[in-house]
Amino acid sequence: MNSHILEARLTHDEIIRKYDRIASIYDLFGILMEWKARQRALNLASIHEGERVLEVALGTGLNFVEILKRNSCGWVDGIDISMKMLRRAKKRIQRTGKENYTLYLCDCRHLPFEDGTFDVLMNQYMFDILPVEDFVPILEEFKRVLKRGGRIVLVNMTKGEKWLNQIYEEIYKLKPPLLAGCRGVFVQPFLEKIGFKEIEREFVSQLGFPSEVVRGFKISD
Ligand SMILES: C[S@@+](CC[C@H](N)C(=O)[O-])C[C@H]1O[C@@H](n2cnc3c(N)ncnc32)[C@H](O)[C@@H]1O
Q: Would you state the pLDDT for residue 2?
A: 60
pLDDT at 59: 98
Report long-range pairs for 166-174 (Cβ below 8 Å, ≥24 apart): 167/208, 168/208, 168/209, 168/210, 169/6, 172/6, 173/6
| Over residues 181-195, mean pLDDT | 95
Domain annotation covers residue 5: no
CA-CA distances (angstroms) from residue 180 to 117, 132, 155, 168, 172? 32, 17, 16, 12, 9
**Any domain includes 107:** yes
Residue 58: inside a domain:
yes
Residue from 79, 81, 83 to probe ligand 1 pocket by mutation (most atoms less than 8 Å from CB): 81
Which helix (H) or strand (E) element contains residue 156? strand 146-157
Contact 32, 207 (CB under 8 A): yes
Residue 84 has pLDDT above 90, yes or no: yes
Share of the chain above pLDDT 90, in %: 84
Contacts of 177 (CB under 8 A, 6+ apart): 18
Average of pLDDT values for 49-73? 97
Higher pLDDT, residue 174 or 7: 7
69-80 confidence digits (pLDDT tens) = 999 999 999 999
Which tops the pLDDT comparison, 217 or 30? 217
- Decide if pLDDT at 121 tops 80: yes
Structure confidence at residue 167 as a pLDDT band (50, 70, 90): confident
**What lines the ligand 1 site, CB under 6 Å?**
15, 19, 30, 57-59, 62, 79-82, 85, 107-109, 124-126, 180
Distances (CA, A) of 5 to 34, 173, 184, 199: 20, 12, 7, 20
With beta carbons less than 8 A apart as the criterion, state whether 208 and 165 touch: yes
- Could you tell me if residue 105 is inside a domain? yes
Ligand 1, atom 10, lies closest to the CA of 126
As for how many domains the chain has, the answer is: 1
- Considering the domain boundaries, does residue 7 fall inside one? no
- Rounded mean pLDDT, 197-220: 96
Domain coverage including residue 43: 12-217
Q: Which residues contact 14 (CB under 8 A, 6 or more apart)?
A: 181
Tell me whether residue 21 is in a domain. Answer: yes
User: In which band, very low, low, confident or very high, does the pLDDT at 1 lie, cut at 50, 70 and 90?
Assistant: low
Asked if residue 172 is part of any domain, the answer here is yes
pTM: 0.96
**Residue 206 is part of a domain; what is its CATH number?**
3.40.50.150
Q: Is residue 1 part of a domain?
A: no
Relative to the CA of 85, which ligand 1 atom is closest? 27
Taking all residues of the chain, what is their mean pLDDT, rounded to a whole number? 94
The 10s digit of each residue's pLDDT in 95-113 is 999 999 999 999 999 999 9
Question: Average pLDDT of 122-141?
Answer: 97
Decide: 187 and 159 in contact? Cβ < 8 Å.
Answer: no
Q: Is the pLDDT of residue 179 over 70?
A: yes
Contacts of 31 (CB under 8 A, 6+ apart): 62
pLDDT of 221: 84
pLDDT of residue 29: 87
User: Which residue minimizes the CA distance to atom 5 of ligand 1?
Assistant: 59
H/E segment holding residue 65: helix 64-69
For residue 202, which of 47, 37, 55 has the smallest C-alpha distance? 37
Written as one letter, the residue type at 212 is E
pLDDT band at 172 (very low <50, low <70, confident <90, very high): confident
Phi/psi at 124 (nearest 5 deg)? Answer: -125, 130
- Residue 58 CA to ligand 1 center (angstroms) comes to 6
